[in-house]
Amino acid sequence: MRVGIYQFAPEFGDIESNLNKAEAALSQLEADLMVLPELFSTGYLFESREELKRLAEEIPGGRTTRALEAIARKKGMGIVAGMAEYDPQQDKYFNSAVVLGPSGYLGKYRKIHLFYKEKKWFAPGDLGYQVFEIKGAKVGVMICFDWFFPEAARVLALSGAQVVCQPANLVLPWCQQAMITRSLENNIICVTANRVGREVRDEEDLGFTGQSQVVDVGGVLRFRLGDQDEASAVIEVDPARAIDKSINVHNQLFNDRRPEWYQNIIKS
């Protein structure tokens, strides 16, 4: 399976230009699964509810989902992309990722662990950690700050995810290294698509750290992009290698867990 990342600096509020940029990048790549950054079509730092209302879209049905769906079908690829979602049923906004396969819309993930001022605008995700089938591989999704909670990757791996896609807008310096451990401790492939550039809005000045990467099973870093450049990469991986969880003849990652001693983890 050819998995890829595209990192760029979205222009805040300019969905048209961000979509065009992503479309141009994806149309040049041959991949089975591409991951785009968190909130790739809107930018990150919202300043008002009105702004969020203007830029968030329904999933599916909104313009960003439709545009990505057209690319996924045309290129025969899966796409996982972060975007701002409006749910009219609940009248809530979510920091979401849309999941598309080569034949169209598969589903969405709504970010569960919200970071910093995201809590002002978005509701915490209410759909859980789900696994989607894309081109024969089991694909799980988490978004950015979910990395800080190892339960996210663990739950996805226990649900069968072989590849975990992570759209990101990282501002802290540790995630890229931490994802190597998430891969090692779950024997999964971790694909992080982070953005680059800065945003100065809402009395904040945030620099995003790029270094989008693909970590293969066993915590093997296969590729990491630079911290500033707009770039893409596609790497061949074998998701079947994520099925066997044995560490050696005596140890197996999942069978050796002792959940009877982990009860504090599931207390609220």
The residues that touch ligand ACM, with contacts defined as CB under 6 A, are: 38, 115, 144-145, 169-171
Q: 167 with 142: CB under 8 angstroms?
A: no
DSSP codes joined into one string, 142-182: --GGGGGSHHHHHHHHHTT-SEEEEEE---SS-HHHHHHHH
Between residues 119 and 257, which has the closer beta carbon with respect to ligand ACM? 119
Report d(CA 213, CA 232) in Å as an integer: 10
Nearer to ligand ACM, 171 or 188 (CB): 171
Q: How far is the CB of 111 from ligand ACM (least distance, A)?
A: 7
165 a catalytic residue: no
Please indicate whether residue 38 is annotated as part of the active site.
yes
Scored b (16 or more CB within 10 A) or e, 72-100 reads beebebbbbbbbbbbbeeeeebbbbbbbb
| Least separation in angstroms between CB 162 and ligand ACM | 24
Residue (167 or 239) nearer to ligand ACM, CB? 167
- Contact 55/64 with Cβ under 8 angstroms? no
CA angle 165, 167, 172 (to 5 degrees): 115
Residue with tokens 């296969």: 222
- Residue closer to ligand ACM (CB basis): 170 or 234: 170
Active-site position among 21, 75, 111, 138:
111
HEC letters along 126-153: CCCCCEEEECCEEEEECCHHHHHCHHHH
In the complex, what is the shortest distance from the CB of residue 85 to ligand ACM, in angstroms, rounded to a whole number? 15
Catalytic residue among 57, 118, 138, 144: 144
CB of 212 to ligand ACM, least distance (A): 14
Residue 134 sits at φ, ψ, to 5 deg, of: -130, 120
User: What burial class does residue 223 get, using C-beta atoms within 10 Å of its C-beta: 0-12 exposed, 13-18 middle, 19+ buried?
Assistant: middle
Pick the closer one to ligand ACM by CB: 197 or 239: 197
C-beta of 169: minimal distance to ligand ACM in Å? Answer: 4
| Enzyme catalytic residues | 38, 111, 144
